[in-house]
Amino acid sequence: MIDFTLTDKQLEIQAKYRDFTKRWITPNALKFDELAEFPWPVVKAAYEEGIMNGPLPTQFGGNGYSLIEGAIAAEELGAGCIGIGIGIEANTLALTPLLLVANEWQQKEFYGRIHEEKGVAAYALTEPNAGSDVQGIKSTAIKHGDKYILNGHKRFITNAEVSTFMTVFALTDPERGSRSLSAFIVPTNSPGVEIKPHLMKMGQRASVQNEIIFHDVEVPATHLLGREGEGFLIAMKTFDRTRNGVGALALGAARTAYETARDWAKNRIQFGKPIAAQQAIAFMLADIDVLIETSRLLVYRSAHAYDAGLKEASKLSAMAKLYASDSAMKVATDAVQIMGGDGYSRDFMVEKIMRDVKLNQIYEGTNQVQRVVISKSILK
Ligand SMILES: Cc1cc2nc3c(=O)[nH]c(=O)nc-3n(C[C@H](O)[C@H](O)[C@H](O)COP(=O)(O)OP(=O)(O)OC[C@H]3O[C@@H](n4cnc5c(N)ncnc54)[C@H](O)[C@@H]3O)c2cc1C
């Protein structure tokens, strides 16, 4: 029996995040898009209202959310502003390796620190020559006694300049290449961490990204996550869990674009009647609604597969990210079209959403890379 009815707990999560988005994210979305600054006041409020760190264990101040609960929450954040939503959700990306492999001391220490400081964390994987090709990573962390000495260059790292610590991927034995890729927790204020000014970009401007240079940074050996050489697996398993959220954020933004364009089309009179009465516009709205419904189905299906520990969860998370973000791009572009010149102006949210959702097709593995993941899974 398949039941698509949300449980009371899921409805409660949806209502809580919808209400927070209405009060804190939607009213601040255009402001932080314009400022291109990390939205600290919103993140502080999110901490106060139990919105941050959804999947963290409850004993460390999180909500202990399953993936389906996290997806319901992320759709609501995305409905307000993906940029602000990513400021909140990138914490989840950075902390997921801890969820997967951290020992008891690491959990207490790092979850504790983030919660106490009401801070954010960053996930530092990408390098100038290692974007889609994670195996091209060149940063090194060489063991000397009870420390690793970290050197290297990362870029596009979300939240870096505002983070308490970063989850950093580096090679412990460069001769063994990516087979020695390992994950570490690196406090951002460690001597030798150089963070460049944040990137100026097209959309999701409330979320900040930096280039980072590590110059002989000393990292205590106790900060190694899992074992040496497990880094590639940790990175891929992290994405299996977080890609669904990228799809859910895109879905939320698509929903807002659709609702804005639909209401506009019902009220905008041209040729003596609402433009929604023209079949060309009505059919565009119908197609948009189909994309939103099908995106939600795939996001929920993928989250359910992960929570149930199904073998196809990895493939489905790639599908959910790919489909929901491609759909959101089409929805946003059509919403702008339906609203004509007003859609293209900064007076309405659809212009911003069109810029924002483009990025969901790129980060956490481009949509071409999702197709690589899916095709490998079905052809192996
Ligand atoms: C705003 C933003 C935030 C980000 N946040 C983070 C973060 O927090 N942490 C982090 O580690 N990284 C982050 N990234 C990095 C992001 O994950 C990479 O940008 C992404 O994986 C693509 O890498 P690239 O930009 O180097 O593109 P490239 O890998 O150079 O790809 C360029 C093009 O080639 C295509 N391509 C490459 N290889 C293949 C292939 N095998 N088959 C088909 N097509 C291919 C790609 O799909 C793309 O269209 C962020 C990026 C941005 C822009």
Render pLDDT for 39-60 as a digit per residue (tens, 0 to 9). Answer: 999 999 999 999 999 988 898 8
Question: Residue 293: its pLDDT value, please?
Answer: 98
CATH code of 164's domain: 2.40.110.10
In this structure, is residue 332 part of a structural domain? yes
C-alpha span between 302 and 296 (Å, rounded): 10
Q: Are residues 54 and 96 in the same domain?
A: yes
Q: Are residues 271 and 326 in the same domain?
A: yes
> For the range 291-297, what are the long-range contacts, defined as Cβ-Cβ under 8 Å and sequence gap of 24 or more?
291/254, 291/327, 291/330, 291/331, 292/251, 292/254, 292/255, 292/258, 292/327, 292/331, 294/323, 294/327, 295/247, 295/250, 295/251, 295/254, 295/320, 295/323, 295/324, 295/327, 295/328, 296/75, 296/251
Question: Residue 59: its pLDDT value, please?
Answer: 86
Q: Which residues line ligand 1 (CB under 6 A)?
A: 90, 123-126, 131-132, 156-158, 201, 209, 359, 362-366, 368-369, 372
Residue whose Cα lies nearest atom 30 of ligand 1: it is: 131
Residue whose Cα lies nearest atom 38 of ligand 1: it is: 132
Domain count along the chain: 3
In this structure, is residue 354 part of a structural domain? yes
Tokens of 89: 């959700």
Q: At 134, is the pLDDT very low, low, confident or very high (cuts 50, 70, 90)?
A: very high
Question: 322 alpha carbon to ligand 1 midpoint, in Å?
Answer: 14
Q: Helices 279-307 and 313-338 meet at what angle, rounded to 10?
A: 160
C-alpha span between 168 and 231 (Å, rounded): 9
- The average pLDDT across 232-238 equals 97
In this structure, is residue 2 part of a structural domain? no
- Nearest ligand 1 atom to the CA of 204 is 1
Q: Are residues 236 and 363 in the same domain?
A: yes
Question: Residue 107: its pLDDT value, please?
Answer: 94
CATH code of 20's domain: 1.10.540.10
Which residues are within 8 A (CB) of 45 and not within 5 positions of it... i.e. 6 or more apart? Answer: 20, 24, 51
In this structure, is residue 256 part of a structural domain? yes
- Nearest ligand 1 atom to the CA of 93 is 8
Instruction: Answer yes or no: is pLDDT of 1 > 70.
Output: no
Q: How far is CA 66 from the centre of its chain?
A: 16
CATH code of 343's domain: 1.20.140.10
Render pLDDT for 305-352 as a digit per residue (tens, 0 to 9). Answer: 999 999 999 999 999 999 999 999 999 999 999 999 999 999 999 999
Q: Judge residue 312's burial from the number of C-beta atoms within 10 Å of its C-beta, 0-12 exposed, 13-18 middle, 19 or more buried.
A: middle
Does residue 111 contact residue 287 with C-beta atoms inside 8 Å? no
Q: Judge residue 179's burial from the number of C-beta atoms within 10 Å of its C-beta, 0-12 exposed, 13-18 middle, 19 or more buried.
A: middle
Q: Are residues 365 and 261 in the same domain?
A: yes
Tokens 């489905």, residue? 316
Amino acid at 71: A
Whether 37 is catalytic: no
In this structure, is residue 56 part of a structural domain? yes
- Nearest ligand 1 atom to the CA of 132 is 29
Ligand 1 mutation target, pool 153, 246, 362, most atoms within 8 A of CB: 362
Q: Are residues 184 and 257 in the same domain?
A: no
Q: Over the range 313-341, which residues count as b (16 or more CB within 10 Å of their CB) and which as e?
A: bbbbbbbbbbbbbbbbbebbbbbbebbee
Render pLDDT for 246-255 as a digit per residue (tens, 0 to 9). Answer: 999 999 999 9
Nearest C-alpha neighbor of 305 from the set 290, 291, 320: 320
Render pLDDT for 284-308 as a digit per residue (tens, 0 to 9). Answer: 999 999 999 999 999 999 999 999 9
The whole domain housing 283 covers: 232-379
Catalytic residue, chosen from 127, 211, 228, 364, is 364
Q: Are residues 215 and 350 in the same domain?
A: no
Please say which residue of 119, 136, 161 terminates a domain.
119
Q: Are residues 224 and 291 in the same domain?
A: no
Residue whose Cα lies nearest atom 43 of ligand 1: it is: 368
Question: 347 alpha carbon to ligand 1 midpoint, in Å?
Answer: 31
Mean pLDDT of all residues in the chain? 96
Residue whose Cα lies nearest atom 37 of ligand 1: it is: 132
Instruction: Answer yes or no: is pLDDT of 61 > 90.
Output: no
- Nearest ligand 1 atom to the CA of 125 is 11
**Beta-strand runs (E) in the chain:** 120-124, 140-144, 147-158, 163-171, 181-187, 193-195, 209-220, 224-225, 269-270, 273-274
In this structure, is residue 276 part of a structural domain? yes
Question: 363 alpha carbon to ligand 1 midpoint, in Å?
Answer: 6
Count of helix runs (H) and strand runs (E) in the chain: 13, 10
- Nearest ligand 1 atom to the CA of 94 is 8
Alpha-carbon distance values, 290 to 44, 75, 80, 258, 349 (Å): 36, 17, 21, 11, 21
In this structure, is residue 184 part of a structural domain? yes
Q: Are residues 239 and 373 in the same domain?
A: yes
Question: 116 alpha carbon to ligand 1 midpoint, in Å?
Answer: 33
Q: Are residues 97 and 135 in the same domain?
A: no
Render pLDDT for 114-131 as a digit per residue (tens, 0 to 9). Answer: 999 999 999 999 999 999
Q: Are residues 250 and 348 in the same domain?
A: yes
Q: What percent of the chain has pLDDT over 90?
A: 94
Render pLDDT for 154-202 as a digit per residue (tens, 0 to 9). Answer: 999 999 999 999 999 999 999 999 999 999 999 999 999 999 999 999 9
Residue whose Cα lies nearest atom 24 of ligand 1: it is: 131
Question: Residue 185: its pLDDT value, please?
Answer: 98
In this structure, is residue 1 part of a structural domain? no
Residue whose Cα lies nearest atom 4 of ligand 1: it is: 156
Question: 132 alpha carbon to ligand 1 midpoint, in Å?
Answer: 5
Question: Residue 342: its pLDDT value, please?
Answer: 98
Q: Are residues 259 and 136 in the same domain?
A: no
Q: Are residues 97 and 203 in the same domain?
A: no
Please say which residue of 119, 140, 161 terminates a domain.
119
Question: 317 alpha carbon to ligand 1 midpoint, in Å?
Answer: 17
Q: What percent of the chain has pLDDT over 70?
A: 100
